[in-house]
Structure 1
């Protein structure tokens, strides 16, 4: 039986392993992957490093680095709680935001001070620069509610890093913290709702031992709940001024439609990997639609669709599913990370190949933090 600790580690290291595996093929189209790895895009089934940024095997890209920033925020909150300090969701988000800024400006891991990461998404950079500019001049305190790249910047840069909240928060706090941590860089409603749905799915898989179908249903229920809407608005309200929610319902419908598409019986990650992301499938009315019209811009709902479709395919292993997600092409590191985390929450740490785990830059650190945070509970 897979334990809760194994699922937590599967989720966290699933993000890391999917990220590091996909980094070797970032920005390559499905067609380019097939041409470079005959026959039929048979990419190496190992973490090889390389890619456009010349990563060392197992090195973190921005996906894992920013996941680490949030994980460190939860570690620090646990230490503060042990000391008797009063903690809340906003304080947690401020702490994690400071780690995001540390990643952005340096020093970070093997990078010195005043050095930028090799790979930073445009929305992420804009959000973090705005966060820096809006910091309190008196205290230097940052506020994630006064950042973000704005509506229309709907990349997958917050979805890729949100999983620690699913593992170390719950209830309304899970929603509030997910919202705040997305809004640091990605405050488009689609990004926020995608992160909420994803984290609720992960939480159901890890803590409730839910089936993938029930976990996806829980994610859909969460983003269509009036209570969730109230929590989202409250989390982003500053000095009594609520955010403009005029497009929230429209974006909610778009995220629901994306998840519903991933749930169609004919939507399979293996087909996308073997036949291409534009393979035609039938919707519930029998009409043919493009399975996944990827445009190579890291759209948040593309990554969410791939992850949901992967977790619902219980006939295949973590490795097979993540390899096929990457074979679909385009934003391969982030798609691998998002799917790797969700399927890792389903299958646990032992499902990730040991040879992959041995290469992960932050594998030991993540494991140590998990053991600190969950102790004997799992």
Structure 2
């Protein structure tokens, strides 16, 4: 799954923020190789902040200090000056505490519902969390930067979906199972128990409570739309990303899943990254020619930009999982 999401992210890096027309004019009607042209300067074969944050999260779990280890690892990634950082993500991680996301969300006027949590949340499944523990951890890790209930419950859905797919469930059946998990889950209590909501973030807690029911309804609607072939946008809004990923990721091959996300542009690297996670959970094989050149486009404590992903991912995953 980690190699799959990284390769998909790197394939989408060149088309990020471009229109489908501009993409077709520059790259043609098909993108099967890594390309130049990233607006953030990523070289062909380099994955973006999406995969970097997945890896940073895994490096955090390897510290064996729970959510605190994850926060510190993500903050070290940010401090190293990555070329692309979302606004709410940066504001939250600069606080470098468990309630940083809630405090940043409060300061934004409760407007931030981007896909910065969803794009990295596969790390929780990769780190070995399952069942109820997976849902709890997905909620908490997302809320470290994006505590809007749409972001939190989208991550609960996605990780449950990945678990069901990896367990052999068919695509639509896995989505139905994941929706049931999402509908029954009490994320607000989890965030209170984790220390993400507290005395300094009472406003965020109240906003979450008031919007929680509506968020679940929005996610149900977008999941059903995506499964039915609907696509609102490939914007950075979390529910647009979730819907688009579900539309694309049910195809028969890895390339057929990922390429439509790449060709539609806008936030193509993030949509492709989420699609890649789903394709990985389904067991679809990444084309071999995309694996050898795969790198991450940034260096920070625990990772070097020139490291080959195929060589260094196995040890990373092993260190992040329970002993």
TM class by smaller structure: 0.7 to 0.9
Q: Deviation of residue 191 (structure 1)?
A: 0.6
1:140-185 Cα distance to aligned partner (Å, 9 max, x none): xx55565443432111111110101123112332122112211121
SS of residue paired to 2:221? helix
Q: Deviation of residue 303 (structure 1)?
A: 1.2
In 2: Cα distance, 1:163 partner to 1:70 partner: 10
Partner residue, 1:302: 240
Partner residue, 2:6: 16
Q: Deviation of residue 258 (structure 1)?
A: 0.5
In 1: Cα distance, 2:280 partner to 2:185 partner: 30
Are 2:69 and 1:99 equivalent residues in the alignment?
A: no
In 2: Cα distance, 1:33 partner to 1:16 partner: 21
Match for 2:231 among 271, 292, 304?
Answer: 292
In 2: Cα distance, 1:16 partner to 1:76 partner: 22
Q: Deviation of residue 370 (structure 1)?
A: 2.9
SS of residue paired to 1:64? helix
Is the 2:17–2:268 contact (alpha carbons within 8 Å) kept by the matching residues of 1? Answer: yes
Partner residue, 1:198: 158
Q: Deviation of residue 311 (structure 1)?
A: 3.1
Is the 1:128–1:148 contact (alpha carbons within 8 Å) kept by the matching residues of 2? Answer: no
Is the 1:159–1:194 contact (alpha carbons within 8 Å) kept by the matching residues of 2? Answer: yes
Is the 1:298–1:331 contact (alpha carbons within 8 Å) kept by the matching residues of 2? Answer: yes
Cα 1:339/1:226, change in 2 over 3 Å = closer
1:92-149 Cα distance to aligned partner (Å, 9 max, x none): 211111111111112xxxxxxxxx11111112112122x23xx5xxxxxx55565443
Cα 1:357/1:190, change in 2 over 3 Å = same
Partner residue, 1:35: 25
Cα 1:263/1:71, change in 2 over 3 Å = same
Partner residue, 1:138: none
Are 2:139 and 1:149 equivalent residues in the alignment?
A: no
Partner residue, 2:291: 357
Q: Deviation of residue 369 (structure 1)?
A: 2.5
Partner residue, 2:120: 161
Equivalence map 1:324-363=2 (5 Å):
324-348=260-284, 351-361=285-295, 362-363=309-310
In 1: Cα distance, 2:105 partner to 2:75 partner: 15
Cα 1:305/1:72, change in 2 over 3 Å = same
1:201-260 Cα distance to aligned partner (Å, 9 max, x none): 111222x22222222112111111155564455444437987221110011111111001
Q: Deviation of residue 337 (structure 1)?
A: 0.4
Q: Compare 254-263 and 229-238 and name the one that shifted more.
A: 229-238
Provide the aligned length of Structure 1 versus Structure 2. Answer: 301
Partner residue, 1:76: 63
In 1: Cα distance, 2:241 partner to 2:190 partner: 25
Unpaired stretches in structure 1, ≥5 consecutive residues: 1-10, 78-90, 107-115, 136-141, 268-290
Equivalence map 1:1-378=2 (5 Å):
11-38=1-28, 42-77=29-64, 91-106=65-80, 116-129=81-94, 131-132=95-96, 135=97, 143=99, 146-150=102-106, 151-167=110-126, 168-206=128-166, 208-227=167-186, 230-231=189-190, 234-235=193-194, 236-238=196-198, 243-244=205-206, 245-264=209-228, 267=229, 291-294=230-233, 297-313=235-251, 316-348=252-284, 351-361=285-295, 362-372=309-319
In 2: Cα distance, 1:12 partner to 1:223 partner: 24
In 1: Cα distance, 2:219 partner to 2:192 partner: 17
Q: Deviation of residue 357 (structure 1)?
A: 1.0
Q: Deviation of residue 292 (structure 1)?
A: 2.4
Task: Please give the TM-score of this superposition, normalised by the length of structure 1.
Answer: 0.73
Q: Deviation of residue 323 (structure 1)?
A: 0.8
In 1: Cα distance, 2:39 partner to 2:255 partner: 23
Q: Deviation of residue 67 (structure 1)?
A: 0.4
